[in-house]
Structure 1
Amino acid sequence: MDLLLLDELGELPSGRIAVLDDAHGALAAALADRTSSSVVAHSDSLVNERRLTHLGVEIAADLTSALVGTQLVVLRLPKSLDALDEMARTAAQIGANDVRLVAGGRTKHMTPSMNAVLATSFEEVRASLGRQKSRVLHAAGPKAVKQPWPQQRHHDDLGLTVHAHGAVFAGTRLDAGTALLISQLHHLTDTEGTVVDLGCGTGILAALLARRFANVTAVDVSAAAVASARLTTSGSVDVRRADGLSEFADASIAAVVSNPPFHVGTTKDSTPTLKMIKDAGRVLISGGELLMVFNAHLPYLPRLKALGRTNILVRDNHYVVTRTIRD
């Protein structure tokens, strides 16, 4: 994939080049070696961002600072069309007048809708020939487009306006898993200690928890999620970009509430959640609580029971909500 992208770039510009969501830094490193132009990298994931720090290229903390004034944007196609739309619109709005975008993906994950999304922001969109089960989309000729990101929606049933950038799971919607978890928040014990919304996404859970608890912290590895949650919670919550619970001290948290992801990009991966459950054992105080929702088929119950006394609070056709008391 990376080699195909590099082969499809054509003549490199003399100006700024942005590399987006380069998971391991191979693209950014290769471009930095090929040109004397300024190369800036931005990854939504903090884990991926930390892999880029040794490359000697500029690291941008957010999409806007990465794309301002860029002549060339290079990326792997995201799973989310909303994420692609925000990238394309931002590039068309604040990139150079001649900015072009080159995006690669596995053919099996690509759809005509991706071309349509790019065509909203660029005059010319074309696809490369396929190679090794991959393909590249080229977009050039930026249009004068509006910027609807972040979007917002008011939920009357929650009394809450939800804000969302394109890369955040579920956007401004209330997904079914989070809704089921909300129905069980009353099981949490009253506490003056810290309550953490882990993997906070748009910040819905954190905003609701802040109505009851004085010390709520929202954590997510995603820059887009953190920016969204700060808007949704309106300053009522400490929102942090962090890799899970790694930045919390031992026995420092009274409760963790989480609707954890089970995909990394297009790949199902339970590893981050299994790590989170293990780390919860470190950061929770004795008698602390872990309230979690997850798809019923995922292998979390044995790990939760090893952590402490675990009860299933509710389940439906898809999801289970559990409450674990730290031994």
Structure 2
Amino acid sequence: MPEPPHAQERPDGERDRPPRARNRAGAERVFVVVGYEDAELLDIACVTSSLDAANRLGARPPYRIRLATPGGRAIGCSSGLRLDGQETLERLTGPIDTLLVSGGYGHERAAADTRLTAHVRRLAAESRRVASVCTGTSILAAAGLLEGRRATTHWAYAGLLAAGHPGVRVDPAPLFVRDGPVSTSAGVTSALDLTLAFIEEDHGADLARWTARALVTYLQRPGNQAQMSMFVAAPPPDHAVVRRLAEHIAGHLDTELTAATLAARAGVSERHLHRLFSEHLGQSPGRFVRGARAEAAAHLLSSTTLPVSAVARRCGFGTAETLRHTFQDVYGMPPSRYRLAARPAPAA
């Protein structure tokens, strides 16, 4: 990780500097990451490396990062690497600023370990905020910390979480969800987005921006950005009609994509088209088209300077007003606010 950069010239001629350290006399922020056997290394590293970068860039008070494990033992990660525990979970006491439970393939065994979940519950009561990454949500749920709360997890495990914990309002779509003092994030690298949100909350937007720059990533993807993207969430390849239509939709968003048009293109009835989309994509053709257009618009808003009206036309919304209504429904914010939130950090 590079040391804090020197002042750099911005295109407008102004000097751009890392933020001045604040609250130098303040106590450390104790940030405890709970790990266990067969945890996901990236779930842990996204958090700890981001906090370390923030410390190097002047976080005051700094984060004191500790890995707590059962018995204080070293844990084997799913990648095969081992991490030494720094704290014994059973002996650790507060006060703790942030308690975060990592995810990983070992989450089911960890969630079934009543001693582990009891200590997570005990430590949560001594923490200012509580969080989880990926399938670590299941451990918070088993500890009773998500009852009545909205939460997310890795999209592939959302159904299992909802079935096993009916008192949790599982939302599989967002990158992360913050419900009061409890935050949950989606799969793996969404831990980076959540941690940057914590850094911004604790130390301001400037330090979060410089941390993102040091990590060579976006400043922060909005928490309600979808986990699954049309660019990576391909439809099942075993049904040729659905696959061809999905590819056609993605490549022709600015054309007429009504159910009637799509059915005629596929040579099936509208009723059969609805049945195919429901079976293979879990949604109607109209909803799939709307989602594809919304995500394409989100991509253009975050990666170009095109006016909102031009983005709307390119993505098939016709008017900026139609795009605005769709964005409000899908992302919970208007396009202009999304563009501001999703804007990458300025180039160094």
Structure possessing the higher radius of gyration over alpha carbons? 2
State if a TM-score over 0.5 links the two structures.
Answer: no
Question: Which one has a larger percent strand, Structure 1 or Structure 2?
Answer: 1
> TM-score with structure 2 length normalisation?
0.28
